[in-house]
Structure formats: C-alpha cells, structure tokens
Chains A and B, each alone.
Chain A
C-alpha cells in the first residue's frame, strides 16, 4: 500500500478482514470473561489433539527426545495473557495478574486434553502503557501415554529437561506460587533521616523491609500450600521509594516473590549415579540451566552479591 491508498475506499478484502477481526475480538472477550478458551484457539487445540493439525512444541530437539523417552508427547503451544491496570495496588496486581493468566493457561491445557504444561515462561511485552502490565504465560501442553486427560493439568515453569529430571527424582513440579506485599511508612518523627549520624542502622527502614519481606514470603507459602509441598527457583523483585508530603517523608517498600511449586516425597534421593563429562553443546549449556527462562522481571539486584 502506498501513501495515496489511504484516501481510497477500503477494498472488499479489507472490509471482510475488518469484519473477521471484530468477530474474533468479540469472541475472545466473551470467552475470556466466561472463563473459557476463545473459539479459534479451542479449535486449534482440538485439531492438534486429534492429529488433524501438526503439533507445536516450544521444546528443543534434545528436550523432545527426552520427553518422548519418558512417554510424554507434545500437543500444542498454549498461552495466556491478562493485561491488568493497577488502580488499587501495583504490588498486589502482580499476584492477581499471574493468577489470572495461570487460570487461563490451565483452561487451554484442559482444552488440549493435556496432563501437563511444560517449559512455561513468564513474559511481558515492553509496551509502556501507564499503570498497567501484561502478564503472559507461554508453554507446551503435553500428554502422557496411557493416562487419561487431566482435569487439573500440572503447570511447570521449568524447561522440559528439568521437568524430566525432577520426575526421575520423584518430584512433580505443579504450578506457580506468588507472594507480593507492600507497606507504607510515614516517618513523622523524621528518624529515618540520618544526615548527622555516624555509623548506625536505619532501624525504621530495616523494620519496614523485614515486615514487607516476611509478609511476602508468608503469602508465598500460603499460595504454595494449595499446590504442593515446596517451592523451587525463586525469583525476587523488590523496590523502595521515598516521597515527601508536607515536609514529612514517606517510604514505600514492595517485594514480589515468584516460585515454582513442587510436590516432593521427603527423603527420596536422586536414583542416578553422576558421570563427569565434557559437554559438546555450543554456548550456554542446557545442562546447567543457565539460560534465562523468564523475562518479566529484570533482576534489580544491581549491586550484586555481598
């Protein structure tokens, strides 16, 4: 299309496209608000399940090899999004947003007739829409040979290789747990201002952090309890802000913890011997799992370890 086409009447093709778009969007919104999978996606998932459409896997060939040797077969790429506006609380919005996305992802997995979703990645589109964020999950729905479709498919936020590694050790990754807490501190006595003091702990701010972090972790534990008996692979995100109103300082501290929940039998050790090898993989090796799996939270631990 050139510049002058802007002034032309839309073609029949363009009009048909527009109508299809409107119908699709209306369907997406209706289905999501009813807690259902949008029609087009449901049909794609069903096609993949029945084998009339090619299956789609985010897995690498090495992962495909290992899941197949363990009786798992990929069905389809599944995804879910919740774009949330924080009118009330940014911090708690993160728990809400991921929770909603998780629920939708499970719904897609169910529609695909899956037993589990592997390789689930937490993603966010960098599109600065004020006071809001998109919470997106992407993964591969799989079924286990010989098992009936599950009503409560497992959601594993670890890559497929690690999923299998955990299964072999009798540990089942089950989902995502989130803990998020924030707290305001009104410094009406001005004790957090320490300009003239020497070496001293800022007790008020320490206490604020202690409370915020403890609450966030309490929440994480409560959220995890419903899904399994432990969590792995923490992702920590925290921020503190200072603002001033009527010459009084205020502080806001927030902490978000996201983790993979697991169901592990206590005391069961890894059954394998360990071999020492030279790894022939190029670049970041999947053996150590150092590749970055999620991109929604850039680590803000800028100062690094102690």
Chain B
C-alpha cells in the first residue's frame, strides 16, 4: 500500500518555498531518524547550542606508592565541563528553547600545551510544539540531556522527561607496584587489595557526585548512565572515573506500566 505524500511536501517538491517554520531557519545536528522522532515526540528543533571552554589544568602529582584522589584535577575537570555546559545552556535560554537534546560533551588536548584542555558541549535546542512549558528544568531554564532524538522519544513514552545532564568525576592516582614488595605472592594467586580498594573508592566518589547532582535537580532517577575511565595526558597511573547520565522526573501524568505498549518482535531489514 502506497502512502500519499502530504500536501506540504508535495508543494515543496513542486518548487514552492515553505513558510511553515515561524522562527525562520533552524539548525541542528540531527540525523533524519532523530529529526522525525523528536517531532513525533511533539518538539521542534530551533537551533544548535554550543558552549566551549579552554581550561588550564593545574599540576598535582600523586605520590608513587599511594592511592589518592587528585582533587586539583577532579575540580578542574568539573569546573571546565560546568563552564562549557552552562554556556551552552545560556545559548539555549537566549533562543527560548525548552530544552537541549543530544548533547555531546567532548574533550580535546591542545597540541602545544599538555595542560590546556578544550571542552566542547554541543546540542540541539528544542521547543515544545504547542508551547507547553512543563518540560523546563526545575529552575525554569531549558532541560539538558545527552539522549539522542530516538532516546528522547522513548523516554517520554516510558513516562519520564529529562531534567538535567548530570555527571560525577574523580581523578584518581592508583599506586604503583612498589607496594607489592614483600608480598611473597610467588606461587599463589592473590588479590591486590590495595588496587581493588582504589577502584572501589574512585568509582564510588564518581557515582555519589553524579547522584548528588541528580538530587539537586530534584530528579527521581538517572537514566543512560555510562561509567567510564579515561586519561587526558596525565601520568600513567592517573585515571579519571567519570559517571554521566540524564536525570529524569516522571511526567505530570505518569504512565502506568500496563499502559506502556508491549514491544513487538521485529526483524530489521536495513542491512
């Protein structure tokens, strides 16, 4: 069965210009599918929002044989990300967006200086099609979220809306092997408790910080959490534990689980 092309699209195909978009041109980094699903969710993209920050990260050395958080570096990573994110959010506020979806947060090291890091946050500002203001964040500003357009649609259909992209960071120095001396571990497999507890501590700090941000945003939960480890040109045993996710709250009218449509088994024929 062929579906008829909508009148507006047909006009456009005939070469007529559109006047449908009241704010003029919109910009976005959406893929086709993302665009369609954001609109299906009832939102319209209005413009790309960008925030950047070039940050000079201070010096801090962990002592060779000690596990410890390098709080100078933790704070730097926090502060710089915060600056980039808040600048992006200010752009969204300026264009009166209700929120930003698909935020990509990237870090680049600048070539000529090891201690200079560039933080970039880019996302697409969206407004609710019917001007509904209930999607704004707890402080009345635009919500932020690293969810793609597809994820955004799915989230609304699972009964939640995004509030804020939350994160927790802990830059940690893991001790060197020197502390194994005298362990007498030849011939046995033994757990290196010092290393295990380093991982536990660093990870817990990162998660707790993220969860604290979510509490501050009055969220019910955090979805799409990614917990990963990275190094940004530091000494070999210095690792950043980074937790990031989107804090969510239930929709004004929460969807009861039994109202969520049952999934259908499908076979994708894309490739």
Residues of A within 8 A of B (CB): 1-3, 6, 14, 17-18, 21, 24-25, 28-29, 32-33, 38, 40-41, 44, 53-62, 64-66, 68-71, 74, 77, 79, 81-89, 92-93, 96, 100, 125, 127-130, 132, 134, 136, 138, 145, 164-165, 270, 272-282, 285, 287-288
Contact = CB atoms under 8 A, between A and B. Distances in A.
A93 B189 contact: yes
A184 B37 CA distance: 58
A68 B190 CA distance: 41
B203 A79 contact: yes
A87 B189 contact: yes
B6 interface: no
A145 B210 CA distance: 26
B150 interface: yes
B201 interface: yes
22 contacts: A2-B59, A18-B68, A41-B204, A53-B211, A53-B215, A61-B160, A64-B158, A64-B223, A69-B158, A69-B261, A71-B257, A77-B227, A84-B189, A87-B187, A88-B189, A93-B189, A100-B191, A127-B174, A127-B237, A138-B227, A272-B264, A280-B36
B33 A81 contact: no
Nearest to B75: A1
B267 A64 contact: no
Nearest to A67: B158
A130 B177 contact: yes
Contacts of A282: 31, 33-34, 148, 150
Contacts of B211: 44, 53-54, 56
Given A28-B197, A277-B268, A278-B268, A65 B154 contact: yes
A84 B266 contact: no
Contacts of B36: 280
Contacts of A278: 268-270
A145 B256 CA distance: 12
Contact of A60 (B58, B154, B220): B154
A274 B197 contact: no
Contact of B58 (A2, A38, A44, A274): A2
A261 B255 CA distance: 34
Nearest to B237: A127
Q: Interface of chain B, helix or strand or loop or mixed?
A: mixed
Interface in B48-79: 58-61, 67-69, 71-72
Contact of B224 (A2, A33, A59): A59
Given A2-B59, A88-B188, A65 B208 contact: no
Contacts of A53: 211, 215
Given A83-B199, A85-B180, A275-B265, A54 B192 contact: no
B45 interface: no
Interface string B213-232: 01100011111111101000
Given A278-B268, A280-B37, A25 B201 contact: yes
Interface in B159-186: 159-160, 174, 176-177, 180, 183, 185-186
Interface string B230-267: 00000011010001010100000000011011111111
Contacts of B158: 61, 64-65, 68-69
A77 B226 CA distance: 10
Nearest to B257: A68
A275 B264 CA distance: 7
B200 interface: yes
A242 B155 CA distance: 54
Nearest to B33: A280
A277 B193 contact: no
Contacts of A77: 207, 225, 227, 243
Contacts of A79: 203, 227
Contacts of B72: 1
Given A70-B257, A88-B189, A287-B268, 20 more contacts: A1-B58, A21-B68, A25-B198, A40-B204, A40-B208, A44-B207, A54-B215, A54-B222, A57-B222, A58-B227, A60-B224, A61-B154, A83-B193, A83-B199, A85-B180, A125-B199, A132-B192, A134-B196, A277-B267, A280-B37
